[in-house]
Chains A and B, each alone.
Chain A
Amino acid sequence: MKSFFILFLLIFVLASLAQLLLPWWVVLPICLGLAAWRGGSAGAAFVAGLLGVALSWWLPAAWLNGHGAGLLASRVATLLPLGGNSWLLVLLGGLLAGLVGGLAALAGAWLRVRE
């Protein structure tokens, strides 16, 4: 359990910092590398990658949703269509990015297990 939390935290912090400067898909090598380095079980790595990356999107998106981007977010949520619910959009965005992170972390964990 402890190794899960460490991996999750590492992914969250590093992904958040990296995305300030680099394209969003930098989460992929980050999750792959961190899981290969520190990962525990495959399942835990996947969840850590998913939640770590998702959180790196949820927090800033939720904050921006309340600070200037809420109106636009509800328009985008009408367009997608998510019934104009900007919180659903926050959730969905994080999950999509999280899925990429989770899969990459899974790959990393499997690499480590076999070595």
Chain B
Amino acid sequence: MLRWLKPVLALLTAVVLAWVLNTKQGDVPPVARLLSPYSGFWQNGETAADFPAQQTLRLPGLHQTVRVRFDDRRVPHIFADNDHDLYYAQGYLTARDRLWQMEFMTRVAAGRISEVVGERALEYDRFQRRMGLPFGAENSLREMLKNDTTRLVLESYAAGVNAYIGQLSPREYPFEYKMLDYAPEPWTPLKSALLLKLMAWDLSGRSDDLRLSNILSKYGPEVTRDLFPNFPFRADPVVPNGAPLDFQPLPVPPAPPVPFAAAISGLVPSREPDAELGSNNFAVAGSRTASGKPLLANDPHLQLNLPSIWYQVQLHGPGQNVYGVTIPGAPAVIIGFNADVAWGVTNVGGDVLDWYQLKFKDARQREYWHDGRWKPVRRVVERISVRGRPDRLDTVLYTHHGPVVYDQNETVFNKQTPVRHALRWTAHEAAGANEVLAFVKLNHARNYQDYDRALRTYASPAQNFIFASRSGDVAIRPNGRFPLKYAEQGKFILDGSDPRQDWQGWIPMSQTPRVLNPARGYVSSANQHSAGLGYPYYLGWDYAPWDRAHRINGQLAHMHRATADTLRVLQNDDLGLNAQLMLPWMLYSLEGTKESSDCYSYPHPNSSVAVAMRVLGQWKFHYTADAIGATIFELWYQQLTWALWEDNFGKQVTGLDMRYPSRDRTNRLLLYQSGDGANCFKGASFWVDDRRTAQQENVHNLLTASLQITMDSLTRKFGPLGPKWAWANQKSTDINHLAQLPGFGHADVWSGGSPGSVNATGARNGPSWRMVVDLATPVRAYGIFPGGQSGNPASVYYDDMLESWRTGQLDELVFLKAADENHPRLQAAWRLEK
């Protein structure tokens, strides 16, 4: 018996070791399968032979032959003879480069990450489902499949993706599948719809209703109106004041006579949503350009990830020849141009997401009170698959408003979301909406009328669609489905039992704010307020600060004989308007004058405050990568804001979840309501004083203390004042892999810009695509994104555009007329045949 012991023990050890190395252990990938040169990541390498200059691929389901040319950035230029083949090829080629990313993002949207990573994503998945992203995607898909055009587009695209998936053997799966140990599943049109809902979540899923309700109940309507006004002090709206109204506005529903006093909600605050996430677009008319034809520029600011969020493509088919960027997983071009027109988008900050406080009949939550009677709650059971665990079931309650995102006092995943409130959100509403149709029509557009018709079915997320045409038109409109609201409806939590507080219909699509060929010769947007005070409808109150918009408009107003490069330079502009506005006052107030010398004196010349003042005094408000002034100012201003508001709006002090007034309101208070050093700040606003302390603070105390904190904290972080304090180090722009894999992204990209500059590059967000189009004949266009066409981290095309992006350069985009055209930058010609 004993003689068996040794061999059996050795064999057992070998088997256990093999099993351990072959199995995913928690977050550790199956090491041996990953490292095997026969089937692991080594098989994902890319050589020249993997990308032949000529080849014919046999693909099931194609109707005719499709020709594809690739340029030196690996952009596919697809030439098809029918729409089916065109979108099939788009799906096939996009999947070839981005399969893992597009499939993973649909799982993010659908709340299906637990299937891949296990229980730790369960709360995330529940949240996505309770927010109703899959619900909205299914509603949206139903509408899109009713339309013959979009059904063909979506189904052909899916067939193309599936043709690629069908070719793959496990050893050919993209790297991330091996890393996370799962397999791709078949593509469906629902997944494309899910991606659009994910965009809607990113761009319109934020809400301060809960915080504003808490502020209203703590400070009352007067203070709320004063500190959280519906229109900013400084404004430069997308559609400027004085734009003529060419329509008869609908009557606005009456506001309820007594404002609703929502219950105080005691949720814990979380990190604030990134208020600066946004975009720029601008177009100049021929009167201001060298060619006499319009120029158009667009740079959407999104989270910077690898694989890149965008994928470039040229689509040539019956009735269209369009170039631009697409969202991997969704058909058609989202931002782009053709020989006649160009268009682009920025986000609209309008309020399209509201919360309704519910009154249930009893703890069973089967009925809720509305319009004087009990109405039934619809219960939907969500089944969530969890890797390595049994499925989890989650019952979501739906009212006529929308889903109850949280129905218990339980762990709250997203702290913005109030407890036991129903969510009404445009991303759930699909009647008459068809975003894919809007993009397909834009891809075909020849003129302003086509643009106008295309936008009618575009609902969510609302975007500022900018437009320019070769025939000379420039236009912009904040476009989407906007609920028809009384003033301030949905600024606070609404009463879910009062039918007067329901959404009462929609602003007609023909009455969204708009401007065509304004006398000033340019149009632009940068997420600021949509319209001036002359616009008859209430759209929302909380938009991005005016800085970028005002800088853009100021520069455009001086443009003459502009070229594409003039617009490129503006895209890279790094002037900080907030610094330009506030810093001179901050320094002046700190330093004081003869008149203020009774009240306070100049800081000691050797003190760090005085050193900082000298550095700041020489800084010209440009956020260049090496600017030290930018580093000090940004932190100083942030500390100052904190010192001003934290005692009255901070959770730790007040016990309530609230928010600070906007930057615009903060600046107004500091500049005009904080008193005057000449009389020792008598009559300063009540808010300046730190009410936690016994003595009376004035703005000079706040400025000094916040600058002192700034210098101490920067010294701790970077050492003594010197080149290490460069703005790029403080800002620290990181471009990370979607799955946050170390080694697969780029940390600390050395670049200028700031969230408040036109070049809105921040820590994690920034220009995700920069495009400039010159609508001369022939049209010439330029573009870049911080990454590359390939999603394969083994490929040089994974991040080959990053360096050009970092230095503010653009590639000329190769726009072909025909499949057999010669162009020096073309590298490969493929045929896809049935």
B45 close to A64 (CB less than 8 A)? yes
A114 close to B7 (CB less than 8 A)? yes
Tell whether A110 is near chain B: CB-to-CB under 8 Å.
yes
A25 close to B32 (CB less than 8 A)? yes
B15 close to A28 (CB less than 8 A)? yes
Q: How far is the CA of A61 from the CA of B44 in the complex (A)?
A: 12
Interface residues of A in 12-36 (CB under 8 A from B): 19-20, 23-25, 28, 32
Tell whether B716 is near chain A: CB-to-CB under 8 Å.
no
B22 close to A25 (CB less than 8 A)? yes
Tell whether B21 is near chain A: CB-to-CB under 8 Å.
yes
Contact A96:B35 (CB < 8 A) given known A107-B8, A110-B7? yes
Task: Tell me how far the C-beta of B696 lies from the nearest C-beta in chain A, rounded to whole angstroms.
Answer: 55
* Interface size classification for chain A: 35 or more
B45 close to A89 (CB less than 8 A)? no
Task: Tell me how far the C-beta of A106 lies from the nearest C-beta in chain B, rounded to whole angstroms.
Answer: 5
List residues of chain B with CB within 8 A of the CB of A79.
Answer: 741-744
B10 close to A24 (CB less than 8 A)? no
A96 close to B42 (CB less than 8 A)? no
A61 close to B10 (CB less than 8 A)? no
B10 close to A103 (CB less than 8 A)? yes
A106 close to B10 (CB less than 8 A)? yes
Which interface residue of B3, B7, B31, B44 has the most chain A CB atoms within 10 A? Answer: B7
List residues of chain B with CB within 8 A of the CB of A20.
Answer: 38
Task: Tell me how far the C-beta of B378 lies from the nearest C-beta in chain A, rounded to whole angstroms.
Answer: 45
Task: Tell me how far the C-beta of A85 lies from the nearest C-beta in chain B, rounded to whole angstroms.
Answer: 12
List residues of chain B with CB within 8 A of the CB of A93.
Answer: 32, 35-37, 40
Tell whether B41 is near chain A: CB-to-CB under 8 Å.
yes
Q: How far is the CA of A43 from the CA of B8 in the complex (A)?
A: 16
List residues of chain B with CB within 8 A of the CB of A81.
Answer: 742-743
Contact string against B for A residues 33-65, beta-carbon threshold 8 Å, 1 for contact and 0 otherwise: 000000000000000000000000100110011
Tell whether B149 is near chain A: CB-to-CB under 8 Å.
no
B32 close to A97 (CB less than 8 A)? yes
Tell whether A72 is near chain B: CB-to-CB under 8 Å.
yes
Contact string against A for B residues 44-77, beta-carbon threshold 8 Å, 1 for contact and 0 otherwise: 1111001000000000000000000000000000
Tell whether A3 is near chain B: CB-to-CB under 8 Å.
no
A72 close to B41 (CB less than 8 A)? yes
Contact string against A for B residues 1-33, beta-carbon threshold 8 Å, 1 for contact and 0 otherwise: 001101110110111011001100000000111
List residues of chain A with CB within 8 A of the CB of B513.
Answer: none
Contact A68:B45 (CB < 8 A) given known A60-B38, A75-B743, A103-B17? yes
Tell whether B796 is near chain A: CB-to-CB under 8 Å.
yes
Tell whether B232 is near chain A: CB-to-CB under 8 Å.
no
A104 close to B36 (CB less than 8 A)? no
Tell whether B815 is near chain A: CB-to-CB under 8 Å.
no
Q: Which single residue of chain A is at the shortest CB-CB distance from B47?
A: A68
Q: Which single residue of chain A is at the shortest CB-CB distance from B30?
A: A24
List residues of chain B with CB within 8 A of the CB of A69.
Answer: 41-45, 794
List residues of chain A with CB within 8 A of the CB of B44.
Answer: 69, 72
List residues of chain B with CB within 8 A of the CB of A61.
Answer: 35, 37, 42
Q: Which single residue of chain B is at the shortest CB-CB distance from A89?
A: B35
Task: Tell me how far the C-beta of A35 lies from the nearest C-beta in chain B, rounded to whole angstroms.
Answer: 10
Q: Which single residue of chain A is at the shortest CB-CB distance from B170?
A: A23
Task: Tell me how far the C-beta of A23 lies from the nearest C-beta in chain B, rounded to whole angstroms.
Answer: 7
Q: How far is the CA of A92 from the CA of B42 in the complex (A)?
A: 14
Task: Tell me how far the C-beta of A1 lies from the nearest C-beta in chain B, rounded to whole angstroms.
Answer: 23
Task: Tell me how far the C-beta of B301 lies from the nearest C-beta in chain A, rounded to whole angstroms.
Answer: 27
Q: Which single residue of chain B is at the shortest CB-CB distance from A112?
A: B7
List residues of chain B with CB within 8 A of the CB of A74.
Answer: 743
B743 close to A73 (CB less than 8 A)? no
B14 close to A19 (CB less than 8 A)? no
Contact A28:B35 (CB < 8 A) given known A76-B743, A107-B10? no
List residues of chain A with CB within 8 A of the CB of B743.
Answer: 74-79, 81, 84
Q: How far is the CA of A61 from the CA of B41 in the complex (A)?
A: 10
Q: Which 4 A-B pairs have the closest CB atoms?
A: A78-B743, A69-B45, A68-B45, A72-B794
Pick 18 A–B contacts, CB within 8 A, sort by A: A28-B15, A64-B37, A64-B42, A65-B42, A68-B46, A68-B50, A69-B794, A72-B175, A72-B793, A72-B794, A78-B742, A79-B744, A96-B35, A97-B32, A104-B10, A106-B10, A107-B11, A111-B7
